[in-house]
Structure 1
Amino acid sequence: MTTASLDTAIGFTIPHRHARGRVVRLGPALDTILSKHAYPPVVATLLAEALTLSALLGSTLKHDGSRLTLQAQAEGGAVDLLVVDYVDGVLRGYVRHDADRIAQMPVDPSLFALFGKGYLAITFDLPAIGERYQGIVPLEGASLAEAAESYFAQSEQLPSIIRLSAGRGADGRHVAGGMLIQHLPEGEEGRDRIHTRLDHPEWDHVRALAETVKPDELTDADLPLENLLWRLFNEEEVRTLPALALSQSCRCDLEHFRSVLARFPADERAEMADENGEIHVDCEFCSTRYSISLESLAA
C-alpha cells in the first residue's frame, strides 16, 4: 500500500458549483483499532465504516480540542451499541454485539438486520467557543452512509452525498475509505437552504459526478486521494486543502480511573474488589484492563 494515501483526510471545494467535501482513507490506524477486539468480519466492516464517517465529519471541525461523537444505539438487533469519537485527528471506537446472532447473518446484512430499531446520534462538542450541537435521527436506510445522509437532510438541512467502503488490501490488512460532499446554497451562510429549491442544477451536476465513485476506488491505497478527486471532477475547478493526518489512540487513563474510584465510600469500593483487594476497570475502546488496589485508594 502507498502509505501516503492512508490515514489521511483531504478537504476540497468546487467553488463554481457551491460544493464542499472531504475524502478519507484509513489504514494502519484502522488496523490497530480493530485488532483490539476479535470482531467478526461483519462487525469489523461496520466499525470501519463508522470510523471513516467520523473522520469525514470530524475533519471539518476548525478549533483544536473539538470533538465529534457518533453513537448508534438500538434494540432488537445483533448490534445494540456502536460508539466512535474523533478529536484533533485521533480516532477510537467499539461495537457491542451478540456474536451468536452475527454468526447467523449473511455476508452483507442490512442496517436493520444489524441494529433492528434504533437511532443515530451525532454530537459536536466545541469547547473553544463553548457550544455543543447534537442531532438524532432514526437508523433508517440500507447502510450507515444512508442513515448519515438522513441526519444532514433533517438536522442540518444540507443536501449531502456520503459514500463509505471497507475491506482488506492486497497485504491482508484492513483499509477503509469514504467521501462526503455537501451543497452550500449560493456558497454563503445565511441564504435559504437548498432543500427549498430542489431543482438546483449545480447540485444535480455535482451529485451525478460524485455518484460515479466506486467502492474499490475509495479503498485503493495505490490511488492517491487527489487523483481520485481528479477522476470524479476533472470537468470542474477543484481546490484542495492541506492533507490532515489521522491516527488512533485511546484516552483511557489510570489516574483518571483512580480518582473516580476514590470518590466512592470505602465500603462500596470493597464490594467492587476481588479476593485480592483489586478493583479491575476495563476500557471498552482499547480492551486494556487496569487493576487498582484498595490499599492505594485508601492512601
Structure 2
Amino acid sequence: MRRNRFCCGHSASCEFDSVSDEIIETWFDQPLLFTIAARHVRGRLVRLGPTLNTIIAAHNYPPVAEKLLGEALVLTVLLGSTLKDESGQMTLQAQTGGGPIELLVCDYRGGELRGYLKFDAERLAAVGPDPTLFALFGEGFLAITFDQATTDERYQGIVPLEGASIGEAAEHYFEQSEQISSLIRLAARHDHEAGCVAGGLLLQHLPEGEVGRDRLHVRHDTPEWDHARTVAATLKPEELTDPAHSLETLAWRLFHEDEVRVEPGVIVSRGCRCSTDYFAGVLAQFPETERVDMADDSGRIVVDCAFCSRIFPIPLGEISAPN
C-alpha cells in the first residue's frame, strides 16, 4: 500500500497509512486540527456525541430543532478552536427575520460549549422535517463574535442568513469579514446507540501573515486552494457523523495525496456557567431599588437559565452589594 506523510502532534514526527494504528485517534468531543502546507490550507474536523447529548438533554427539542442546534454547536467548536487566546470566547448568534426560529445562541470558551434555541413550536412543526434555512429564520442574520480575553479586543461580523445551511452563511462571513475563502460542511443525525451525533469540517485558505500568503481578494490564481476545496467537498454527511471512523481516518481519506500535519484540539465539554453565586454576583451590579422591583412577593429574584433550562430563585438577602 502506498504510504504518505501524515504527521501528528502526539510526537515530533510520525508516518501512517489508512490501516495503521501508530497514532492516537480522535473520535468524539475533540476537534482535530490540521494543515496542508503544500496547499496553503488549514482545517478542523470535529464530531460531537456525549457533550451534544448532555446539552440537548436539558430541553425537549423536536427533531428539526435538535438537528439545527447540533449543527450550530459543531460550527461553534470549529470556529472557537481557531482562537489563539485559550481564555477567549467565540459566540455564534442567529436571529430570526420572521421565521419560527426566534433565536439561536451558542458559545465556546476554552473547550466549554453551550447553546440553546428559542422557537415557536407550532410554526416550527409546520415547516416539515427538512426545512430550508429561509423557512427556519426568514430574512434573519448571523453574528459571529470573537472576544480576546488577554487583549480585551472584540471582533464581530454580521451577515445575512443566506444559503442552504448555517454553514454556508458562515462561509459568507469569512468571505466578507475576513477575506478568507472557506469551506464548511455540517451534519447531524440521531443514532440509535450514540444518541444525537453531529460532525463538521472547516477548511480555509491561509490568510496574509501565515506562511506568507496574500489576502485572497488580491489573488486570482489559487490552484492549491481550488484542489483542496474540490476534494473536501466530496465529504458526505454520513461520514461526518459515522462513529465507526476516526477524524484522522476522514482526513486521510480526503488528503492522502499530500503531507498533512494533524494536532488534537482542546477536549470539548458542556460549559454552562450558571450557578446561584454567579447570578447573585450579576444581580449585585444593579441598584438596590431595581433589585427590589425584580423580586417576587416572597422576596426572591427568579432567574431562568435558557442554556441549561434551570430555575434559580435567589433571595434578596443573599445578594451583596459590590465593594
Choose the corresponding residue for 2:314, options 289, 292, 296: 292
TM-score by length of 2: 0.87
Asked if 1 retains the 8 angstrom alpha-carbon contact of 2:133 and 2:166, the reply is yes
Asked if 1 retains the 8 angstrom alpha-carbon contact of 2:26 and 2:32, the reply is no
Aligned to 2:102: 80
Aligned to 1:89: 111
Asked if 2 retains the 8 angstrom alpha-carbon contact of 1:18 and 1:187, the reply is no
Question: Mind listing any 5+ residue stretches in structure 1 that lack a counterpart?
Answer: none
Deviation of residue 284 (structure 1)? 0.8
Listed one character per residue, the Cα deviations across residues 120-170 of structure 1 (whole Å, up to 9, x for unaligned) are 111111111332111111111111011000001101111110000001224
Distance 1:256 1:211 in 2: 44
Asked if 2 retains the 8 angstrom alpha-carbon contact of 1:19 and 1:187, the reply is no
Deviation of residue 186 (structure 1)? 8.1
Choose the corresponding residue for 2:293, options 271, 275, 278: 271
Deviation of residue 254 (structure 1)? 1.4
Listed one character per residue, the Cα deviations across residues 174-203 of structure 1 (whole Å, up to 9, x for unaligned) are 110000000125883664322333342111
Asked if 2 retains the 8 angstrom alpha-carbon contact of 1:159 and 1:195, the reply is no
Q: What SS does the corresponding residue of 2:31 show, helix, strand or coil?
A: strand
Does residue 160 of structure 2 align to residue 171 of structure 1?
Answer: no
Does residue 250 of structure 2 align to residue 248 of structure 1?
Answer: no
Distance 1:20 1:226 in 2: 14
Listed one character per residue, the Cα deviations across residues 102-128 of structure 1 (whole Å, up to 9, x for unaligned) are 111111111111011121111111111
Distance 2:207 2:294 in 1: 56
Asked if 1 retains the 8 angstrom alpha-carbon contact of 2:36 and 2:258, the reply is yes
Aligned to 2:43: 21
Does residue 61 of structure 2 align to residue 43 of structure 1?
Answer: no
Distance 1:59 1:173 in 2: 24
TM-score by length of 1: 0.93
Question: Mind listing any 5+ residue stretches in structure 2 that lack a counterpart?
Answer: 1-24
Asked if 1 retains the 8 angstrom alpha-carbon contact of 2:93 and 2:105, the reply is yes
Q: 1:198 to 1:286 in 2, by over 3 A?
A: same
Choose the corresponding residue for 1:222, options 236, 239, 244: 244
Q: What SS does the corresponding residue of 2:243 show, helix, strand or coil?
A: coil
Distance 1:145 1:112 in 2: 13
Q: Which moved more, 1:272-281 or 1:204-213?
A: 272-281
Distance 1:73 1:279 in 2: 28
Aligned-pair identity in percent equals: 57
Choose the corresponding residue for 2:143, options 121, 125, 128: 121
Aligned to 2:202: 180
Q: 1:196 to 1:163 in 2, by over 3 A?
A: same
Aligned to 1:203: 225
